[in-house]
Amino acid sequence: MRMGRPREFDAETALDKAMEVFWRHGYEGATIAQLTDAMGINPPSLYACFGNKEGLLKAALDRYTKLRGAWMDEVVAARTARDVAERMLMGIADKQTDPANPPGCLLVQGGIACGTGSENVPFELAARRAQNEDQLRDRFVRAKAEGDLKPTSDPAALARYVSAVSVGMGVMASSGADREALRQVADVAVQAVEAQSARE
Amino acid sequence: MRMGRPREFDAETALDKAMEVFWRHGYEGATIAQLTDAMGINPPSLYACFGNKEGLLKAALDRYTKLRGAWMDEVVAARTARDVAERMLMGIADKQTDPANPPGCLLVQGGIACGTGSENVPFELAARRAQNEDQLRDRFVRAKAEGDLKPTSDPAALARYVSAVSVGMGVMASSGADREALRQVADVAVQAVEAQSARE
DNA sequence: CCATATATGTAGTGTTCACTACAGATGTGG
DNA sequence: CCACATCTGTAGTGAACACTACATATATGG
């Protein structure tokens, strides 16, 4: 039973718009004016709802990872470690060049290096990337236990590798690489996971 | 025979300092105050010598790529495509975690996404990364011609792949990954190139 | 219908930013 | 020794930034 005047905008819709601005310009490159403009609200509404610029970023990151969480679940549901890597990297090649979104990945575009006062933004993004990596690692641990990966393989290293390739592809996408170019990278990258798979 | 009062600072030494600031904070995150402070000069000296902030960045990038050019020449001098990839990625694992420099790679940390007015900074960085990729591609073309790589292999895709892994490792380094973690990634990554190598 | 609580729009706030005017300093060319 | 060209330090410039005071609007609780 909330009191007072009700909010006139939908927070999630507004977050989607904010997400896109951060995605395209990065945390420091995005201005409050651009954000409020895209969200269709005025600064006081933004601050009342999200606290400050960094709070808005975190809310956008939460929404981003939530939206991608479902997809990541599909990825790790693949039958083998090799298929997980392929589904992940091919999917990323498509997603990062989807014209419906800015190119690349918000968890990279958001801000890799930041100035004084925003030092924890890069860490915030890194923490979210680490979540994906952990999910991959757990999947590869299982693959090793199932005999799908070689007994000598290192699931954590494999997960870190797939994560690194994803990030690299994201940077390439943001600087103009097209879908076909990214798919070729994914295709090569999968072969390293294949090399760690048990013979059949 | 230059006229007027001579410059009191060494441009290359100052550039090294500026390079480090851009490397650590990114183009937008670096302030003129931080730059002049690190360079040991005052703003008018900076602007007289480098034009503006973006000019300073370009000069720093020139110096960075020049310093790394020698190393890249060593990389492509390796005997096989596989050795090129290994030397490149292992070297990057070391360089990006060298405590003498900020973590990661200037060509990534410099700025992946930028705000209005600095839109061409990301492209500037991408162009420098593309130079390395081209050098790798040429080397892999040769490797294919020499029968070192399979006749079905795609040298351009391989070069793009190695470049993507390098970038991904750089981002990881900047968010705290240590040398051993990066070496593990490099180790896995090399296996994809190995898979494209002709049997012996 | 009134007191209260929250949202909104206008119009700012102080701060920090990249950049520069200007005066004095220090060299070269004649 | 004198014009001149360039550098240097001080001290700013206007613009853009994140953020907010305040009056007004719109809901709920009694």
Across the interface, whether the CB atoms of B171 and A166 are under 8 A apart is answered no
pLDDT at A130 over 80: yes
pLDDT at A3: 84
Task: Give the architecture (CATH level 2) of B64-195.
Answer: Orthogonal Bundle (1.10)
Inter-residue contact B144 to A169 (CB < 8 Å): no
The identity of residue B14, as a single letter, is A
Inter-residue contact A145 to A172 (CB < 8 Å): no
pLDDT at B1: 61
- Measured in angstroms, what separates residue B30's CA from nucleotide C19's C1'? 15
- The span from the CA of A170 to the CA of B14, in Å, is 33
Nearest chain B residue to A180, by CA: B157
Q: What is the mean pLDDT of each run of 10 residues along chain B (200 residues)?
A: 88 98 98 98 98 98 97 98 98 98 98 97 98 98 98 98 98 98 98 91
CB environment B157-190: b (16+ within 10 A), e (fewer) = bbbbbbbbbbbbbbbbbbbebeeebbbbbbbbbb
Give the nucleotide at minimum CA-to-C1' distance from A2: D28
pLDDT at A53: 98
Could you give the 3-state DSSP secondary structure of residue B160? helix
pLDDT at B55: 98
User: How high is the ipTM of this complex?
Assistant: 0.96
Is B25 within 8 Å of chain A by CB? yes
- Measured in angstroms, what separates residue A22's CA from nucleotide C7's C1'? 25
Assess whether A47 (CB) lies less than 7 A from strand C. no
Assess whether A31 (CB) lies less than 7 A from strand D. yes
Chain D: nucleotides under 7 Å from a protein CB? 4-12, 16-22, 25-29
Nearest CA to A161 out of A181, A136, A124 is that of A136
Indicate if the alpha-carbon torsion angle A65, A25, B134, B183 is positive or negative: negative
- The span from the CA of B78 to the CA of B155, in Å, is 16
- The span from the CA of A86 to the CA of A143, in Å, is 15
pLDDT at B199: 72
Assess whether B41 (CB) lies less than 7 A from strand D. yes
Number of C-beta neighbours around residue B134 at 10 A: 13
CATH of domain A11-195: 1.10.357.10
pLDDT tens figures, A115-126: 999 999 999 999
Inter-residue contact A188 to B192 (CB < 8 Å): yes
Query: In the predicted model, what is the mean pLDDT of chain A?
Result: 97
**How many residues are listed for chain A in this entry?**
200
Residue ranges per structural domain of chain B: 64-195
pLDDT at A2 over 90: no
Is B91 within 8 Å of chain A by CB? no
Residues 6+ apart with CB under 8 A from A86: A78, A186, A190, A193
Could you give the 3-state DSSP secondary structure of residue B197? strand
pLDDT band at A81 (very low <50, low <70, confident <90, very high): very high
- Report which secondary-structure segment, H or E, holds B58: helix B53-76
- The span from the CA of A190 to the CA of B4, in Å, is 61
Is A103 within 8 Å of chain B by CB? no
Could you give the 3-state DSSP secondary structure of residue B149? strand
Give the nucleotide at minimum CA-to-C1' distance from B4: D6
- The span from the CA of B92 to the CA of B97, in Å, is 8
pLDDT at B60: 98
- Smallest CA–CA distance, residue A14 to chain B, in Å, is 20
Nearest chain B residue to A167, by CA: B168
Is A117 within 8 Å of chain B by CB? no
Map tokens 């391989």 to a residue.
Answer: B158
- Smallest CA–CA distance, residue A66 to chain B, in Å, is 22
- Smallest CA–CA distance, residue B183 to chain A, in Å, is 9
What is the rounded average pLDDT of the residues A64-68?
A: 96
- The span from the CA of B187 to the CA of B192, in Å, is 10
Cα–Cα–Cα angle for A194, B160, A111, nearest 5°?
100
Nearest chain A residue to B194, by CA: A192
Q: Considering only residues 169-198 of protein chain B, which place a Cβ less than 7 A from any atom of strand D?
A: none
Across the interface, whether the CB atoms of A154 and B184 are under 8 A apart is answered yes
- Measured in angstroms, what separates residue A42's CA from nucleotide C10's C1'? 10
> What letter would DSSP give residue B154?
-
pLDDT at A1: 63
Residue nearest to nucleotide C26 (CA to C1'): B5
